[in-house]
Each structure stands twice: as C-alpha cells, then as structure tokens.
Chain A
Amino acid sequence: MGSQPRLVEVRKNVLKQNDLAARALREEFRAAGVFVVSLVSSPGSGKTAFLERTLTELRREYRVAALVGDLATENDAVRLARSQVPVKQITTGTLCHLEAAMVQHALGGWDLNQLDFLFIENVGNLVCPSSYDLGENLRLVLISVTEGEDKPLKYPTIFNSADVAVVTKMDLAPAVEFDWDSAYRNIQAVRPCMRVLTVSAKTGDGMQEYLSYLMARLDESRAAAAI
C-alpha cells in the first residue's frame, strides 16, 4: 500500500532501432557508391514485372541486384532471376513489411562495392511499409491503372513516405478508362510536386524516361559523395 504513482518523462522514438539500422545502411550504401531504390505498392500492382524489366534493361550497362520481400514463397525471386542479376528473396513470414535489419541481414555476403544499383521490393502493402526507413536513396510508390484514381487519397501516408510515383500497366489504361488527370491531381493533393512517371512494363512505354531518371540520380549521388 501507499505506492505513489509518478510520471517519468522519456521522449523516445519507438522506431529508434529501425532508424539507427537504416542510418547505418545508408552510410554503407554511400560508401560503396551504390544507389538504392525501394518499391512499395499494393499487391498486384505489377511491381515484379516492372522490376524484371528494370533489371533486364539496366544490366546491359550497370551492375544491378535486387532483394524481394514477400510473406511466403520464393516465386518472385525465381521470376526475377530470369533477368540474370543477383536476386535474394526475403520471406517475412507473417510480417507485412520489411525492416532495415532484414535488409542488413539479407545483404550479408554481397559486396556492395560491386554494384551500381540495388533494388528492394517491399511486401505488397500500402500501409505498414510507410513507417520503416530502409536506408534507400529513392522510394518509388507504384499505382496501377486498374486500381482506381483515388488510391492516393485513400493512402496518403505511403505517398508521403515516397519520393516518386510510378503509374504502371499504362497499356491497360484505355480498357479501364483510366482518368490520368484525376490520378495526377490526387497524387499532387497528398504530395505536392511529386514526380509522376508512367510506364508499361509489357510494351516498354515510358521505361526509357524512367531509366534515364535513375541513371541521372545515380550520377548525382556519386558526385555528392565525392565532394
């Protein structure tokens, strides 16, 4: 009896562990000169097809590799291995997102100095990945034309955690009467000035502009690291 409750100030970020791991990764990436791109989207938005095409095209001139996150199965890694670049699957079990420590662990054994680009495909989920920094240089949020133009309004948090939006499956746009103006307006409403790229991994439309953008960003980041 007689115990006195008292209020003790703490002020600690709950995700501190992840943020520290992400910071260490970012430093490692910078030192190795590798540009790291992560992809987030809902399941079925065409992430894997888009990544497969990205890897296949980039490997002609660059050294590329990929990590892919999924709850279960190695199907994506098997599929991406067709692009003939190093690919590793991270199976998260029941976890709905990747964390920096998982990336750290998955990278064990890879020499980052031998890479120009590293891609990290997150688990298909538009909610949970938004809270976790993975140390990446660039986060792409994908939205396919079949998903509805109001997706950004429904998931403003993930759009705010990303740097560039990529509208995928553009070849299907006429069939589903995709309203580009409305999609663009919604993206800009939740993330003003966000760069929006449009691609079709199937026909290759828009891929060149997107790849040129990545190459420019790689050069920029290496120039900045050299200063």
Chain B
Amino acid sequence: MHELSIAMSIVEMAQEESEQRGCFQVSAVHLKLGALSGVVKEALLSAYEMACDDTPLKGSRLIIEEVSVVVFCPNCQVRRPLSSVQLFCCAECGTPTSEIVQGKEIEVVALEMEEWVHNPA
C-alpha cells in the first residue's frame, strides 16, 4: 500500500502549483495513471481523500485517466497497444517485445482551480 505516499505527493504538488499561481482553490486534480505504474486506482482514490484532510485541498476531486500499455514492435517498427500485460508481444505479428513506450506514468496533467471565496456569508 504505497498509494498513501503517492497521494500525499499529489496533494503537495497541487498545493505548490496553486501557491505559485496566486493561491487559487484547487477543486480537482487530473492524473494520468499507467497500467504498469504499480499503483491501484481504487486504493489511490481513497488514499487521496485521506491525504487531502487538513489541507486546502479538502473536498477536491481526483480525476484519474487510466493509460493503457503501448509497446514498440521491433518487427513492424511501429507502436502497438498491448492486448494483455500478461503477454508482452506485438498484437499484430506476435513478436515479443519489452520496449514500453507508454503505461508507466503517474503524472499530474492539470488542475481545476477556482478563485477563493473570501466572504462566503
């Protein structure tokens, strides 16, 4: 369960970004999560909620875009989506390959920000 430390890094990163831009309220974090990142989406979502507690991000949403694995086929000389992470080969010609071009990312791609509401009453 390393999702909590990942979630805490995400919250920290979002906070820094928002401070750099003049302290806007972050309402959502958009994250790309690769199928080979070693991170479980559901676990990360609940960890995120915990990590947001007692921070300005409390109540914000984590929006995860799952990224499938793409490999490079040395035979066809093109990128191919992998049909199963249990079988690393070209989906067209069957050549084995472990050249991963996509699918390992844990990347904050964007933040949804709102201006602070100073006088809610």
Contacts and interface: CB of A to CB of B under 8 A. Distances in A.
Interface string A2-23: 0111111111111101000000
B118 to A, nearest CB: 10
Contacts of B66: none
Interface in B26-41: 27, 30-31, 36-39
Given A5-B114, A97-B2, A131-B37, A11 B109 contact: yes
A161 B114 CA distance: 39
Contacts of B100: 160
B105 A13 contact: yes
Classify the interface of chain B: helix, strand, loop or mixed.
mixed
Contact of A156 (B36, B105, B111, B117): B36
Classify the interface of chain A: helix, strand, loop or mixed.
mixed
Contact of A17 (B9, B105, B113): B9
Interface stretch (A60-68, A83-91, A111-119, A184-192): A184-192
A4 B114 CA distance: 6
Interface residues of B, number: 39
A127 B38 contact: yes
Contacts of B30: 7
A130 interface: yes
Interface of A: 1, 3-15, 17, 95-97, 127-128, 130-131, 153, 156-158, 160-161, 188-194
The 9 A-B pairs of least Cβ separation, nearest first, read A192-B96, A128-B2, A130-B38, A131-B38, A3-B114, A3-B115, A14-B106, A156-B85, A153-B86
